[in-house]
Amino acid sequence: MLAKRIITAVIGIIAAIFIVNYGQWVFAAAALALGLLAWQELTAMMSCRGIKLAYWPGLAGIALLWGTAWLGNPRETVAVVLLVTFLALVKMVLKHGTFTLTDAACTVAGTLYVGLAFAHLVLLRFADQSVVTAAWLGTMPAGAAYLWLAFVGTWASDTFAFFVGSQFGRHKLAPAVSPGKTTEGAAGGLAGSILAVTALGYLCHFPLGHSAAIGLLVGVVAPLGDLVESSLKRCCGVKDSGRLLPGHGGVLDRFDSIMFAAPAVYYYLQVFSLR
């Protein structure tokens, strides 16, 4: 199992470096594929709970949300949300007795959870497309550097939380949702995220104050994303969201934290500028 996890992680990191730095249609297509796979996993998970998500309206909604981000029309997001809501409610009427209000509500919530998260990966990657960042090892588009802040902060948070929690963890953070997480581990993860993002910000010549603030932000929201997905799995009575990634579970298992971190970094950058 450990060997599988290591091999999958190495392949994943190599693929991530290429896809994020290359950008263009390759990154956009990867984000869409991940979003659609995540929806497939969420639909299967919820069915274990007896909740029937409207599969095709949700799938279409996620693709359209991705499209609004990729094509640069985020204002159309409201129209997509309205469309998915109406389709779910219409199905509730047409399939009365087999498709309930709970099913419709979960369809809308699930579409927004998955669709908006992966749409923000696209928004963050293609932010400030005309700007090139002078990094330590060369140059890269500013959007790629922004996305790496989210990824590195998330990975550092998870890694530091694991090692600090395993060595010093005494107080449970959320025992009803994730019994293995401790407040000591969460504090270690927060410190790790701040250190890692500040270091990356230094290499990319970003203001250190903003880099540290982003590290703090990611260190707070990334574990929340993990806890949200853990809560979903516990509610549905499953261990992993899927089996796509050997030793790591599914897309939701691997991207649950970044699904919260990427939007947080994106909106931080809407308020402040690192240029």
The two structure tokens encoding residue 145: 């550097």
pLDDT value at 74 more than 60: yes
pLDDT tens digit string along 81-105?
Answer: 999 999 999 999 999 889 999 999 9
**132-140: Cβ within 8 A, 24+ apart:** 133/204, 133/205, 133/206, 134/204, 134/205, 135/203, 135/204, 135/205, 136/203, 136/204, 137/203, 140/21
Domain residue extents for the chain = 1-23+131-275, 25-125
Question: SS3 sequence, 181-229?
Answer: EEHHHHHHHHHHHHHHHHHHHHHCCCCHHHHHHHHHHHHHHHHHHHHHH
Tell me if residue 240 falls in helix, strand or coil: coil
Quote the pTM value: 0.93
pLDDT value at 136 more than 80: no
Residues ≥6 apart with Cβ < 8 Å to 124? 143, 146, 147, 150, 262, 263, 265, 266, 269
Q: Residue 230: what pLDDT?
A: 93
Average pLDDT over residues 6-30: 88
pLDDT tens digit string along 175-234?
Answer: 888 888 999 999 999 999 999 999 999 988 899 999 999 999 999 999 999 999 999 999
pLDDT tens digit string along 234-269?
Answer: 999 998 888 876 766 899 999 999 999 999 999 999
User: Counting Cβ atoms within 10 Å, is residue 151 exposed (0-12), middle (13-18) or buried (19+)?
Assistant: buried
The two structure tokens encoding residue 243: 């089996």
Q: How far apart are CA 63 and CA 91, in angstroms?
A: 19
Q: Residue 87: what pLDDT?
A: 96
Q: How far apart are CA 5 and CA 193, in angstroms?
A: 22
